[in-house]
Amino acid sequence: MSEKIYGRKPVLETIRSGKRSVERVYLMQGSRDEVLNQIEAHAKAKGIPINLETRHRMDTMAATEKHQGVIAVVENFQYSDLQDLLDISKQKNEPAFILLLDEIEDPHNLGAILRSAEAAGVHGVVIPKHRAAEVNATVIKASAGAADHVATVKVTNMNETIKRLKDANIWVVGTDDEADKNFFDYDFRQSVALIIGNEGQGLRRLVKENCDELVKIPMAGKMSSLNASVAAGLVLFEVTRQRSWGLGPATKEPPLSSYGVGLSPEKDFFRSGPDPAPQAPGEGTPQRFDISPSDNLEDNPADPPGSNKGGGFKW
């Protein structure tokens, strides 16, 4: 069976990924830009038929005016198997990095999460078969085409999936606003499966109980929670930060020297790398100090005129 997807980036990424057969591409007459030219070039290179259509015809085919001048007829989205995700981590020789979504219902949230997951290097995403959004044209457009680059698994029983991941020596970490530990204090360098809960209810009770650990995102304002896609993005890129830099979890009470003026540990946990090396004084001719005969250095020969500004350098 086939379905229609639309939007410049989604169609381009679907053609480029090669994961799904593309039957035909429709381009709107008189609509051209760099991305549309790339779509046409990739389609021609792969022998995909191209049709030019009027705006009215395109609006009717897509059932929306937001098609951006391109529609593609493709085979239905192909879901992966849970074992595929484990195989991907082995092939990349990396600790497993899997994202589980517990009843995410909004297709725009699902699309945004898939886009963040692909950018963060997630090995795969698991979604439930029931009471949750599935990968469709809306999700693909919201993900800017990233959905076709992320291995996605649809499961009937999320708790059974959690058990299988534990049997594969993967730690299961859920996000919950009542958790005792902040997400940046957890060591994500080991094999891990993150779970993001439903937009309104969060994690279901049994899912929460089956987690090895629960972490939270500290909130400084009056709101008690974040949009599911925003929360997912924060935690996903904390995993990337720890693994890319090899830094491990953030220190709870870091030395003050590691923070700039006006920053605190709570506000600085998104730093993307180690502290910069200390800066030496600028190059050039050193400043001269003229000492008059009236100056008596014998009183304190180890302390010439000047101050200790600049981290201990004498000026």
CATH of residue 97: 3.40.1280.10
Show the domain range for 41: 2-75
Q: Which residues contact 175 (CB under 8 A, 6 or more apart)?
A: 183, 194, 195, 196, 197, 202, 203, 214, 215, 216, 217, 231, 235
For residue 164, the one-letter residue type is: R
Residue 252 has pLDDT above 90, yes or no: no
Q: Are residues 54 and 102 in the same domain?
A: no
In a domain, 312, yes or no: no
pLDDT digits (tens, 9 = 90+) for 182-210: 999 999 999 999 999 999 899 999 999 99
Q: Are residues 138 and 220 in the same domain?
A: yes
Bridge-partner residues for 172, per DSSP? 193
Q: Of 245, 265, 288, which residue is a domain's last?
A: 245
Q: Is residue 99 within 8 Å of residue 194, measured between CB atoms?
A: yes
pLDDT digits (tens, 9 = 90+) for 56-114: 999 999 998 989 999 999 999 999 999 999 999 999 999 999 999 999 999 999 999 99
Domain count, the chain: 2
In a domain, 96, yes or no: yes
Q: Of 52, 75, 98, which residue is a domain's last?
A: 75
Instruction: Output the pTM of the full model.
Output: 0.75
CATH code for the domain of 22 = 3.30.1330.30
Residue 287 has pLDDT above 80, yes or no: no
Q: Of 225, 245, 265, which residue is a domain's last?
A: 245
pLDDT digits (tens, 9 = 90+) for 203-221: 999 999 999 999 999 988 8
Residue 231 has pLDDT above 50, yes or no: yes
In a domain, 19, yes or no: yes
Residue 130 has pLDDT above 80, yes or no: yes
Residue 285 has pLDDT above 90, yes or no: no
